[in-house]
Chain A
Amino acid sequence: MNDSLEERLVKHVVYANWAIFVLASSVGLYLTPAPFAMGIICGGLITVVNFHLLSRTLQSALDPRPGAGNGAVVGKYYLRFLVSGALILALLVFKIVHPIGLFVGLSVVVAGILMALILELKYVFSKEAR
């Protein structure tokens, strides 16, 4: 209830990511051909999992408490990026997904962040108006 603005924002972003992912996947599955829907699902999963891993890496790296583990941060960061790149390469090279569908899927986190910001702004303005 008494979450700070930043904690609330991240929570909203995480919920918005999953909500948009589920919505986009369902719409894709019902309305578009299989490779396009597959692109939305694979792209969405890659980017949402990426966001979670980035969050965990940053929280452990920037924790100022003594003894907090911040080893191998750079290694983890590049490993994550390499794995994402390899997955996207495999999806495109083996023509498992439609490129535009993949593009839509990869936009899930950006859309989630924008949606969370809009929700947060709405909350702040409604609070100020009261």
Chain B
Amino acid sequence: MEATALSFFIAAVTAAGFGIAIAAFGCGIAQGIGLKAAVEGIARNPEASGKITTTMLIGLAMIESLAIYALVVALILIFAHPQAGAIAALLGGAGH
């Protein structure tokens, strides 16, 4: 029982770590592509800077919200897991 509880907790922490890593990887690539295109556009046509910036702002906000979602899910898995109380009780009970 103790081993099962421990493996559950390890799996939750591993999932949180991999989750935020994959999210950061994807969002980093997406933001990089967006920023590259925006900078190229501004370099070609500096007068369109305002238009490009405002359009990119909306795209970056959408991408960034995905990273924040992943962060929240990772933090929930580590600190606010719905089963955390039961698992802690199980571990505490097994410890005594």
Q: Which residues of A contact B58 (CB under 8 A)?
A: 9-10, 13, 113
| Number of CB contacts from chain A to chain B under 8 A | 77
Tell me if B56 and A92 are in contact (CB < 8 A): no
Q: A58 vs B34: C-alpha distance in the bound complex, in angstroms?
A: 13
**Is there a chain A Cβ closer than 8 Å to B38's Cβ?**
yes
Chain B stretch 11-64: residues in CB contact (< 8 A) with chain A? 38-39, 42, 46, 49-58, 60-62, 64
Interface footprint category on B: 20 to 34
Give A101 Cβ to nearest chain B Cβ, in Å: 11
B53 x A99 contact (CB < 8 A): no
Total A residues in contact with B, Cβ cutoff 8 Å: 31
Instruction: Assess A99 versus B61: contact at CB under 8 Å? Given A7-B54, A64-B42, A92-B79.
Output: no
B46: A residues at CB distance < 8 A: 64
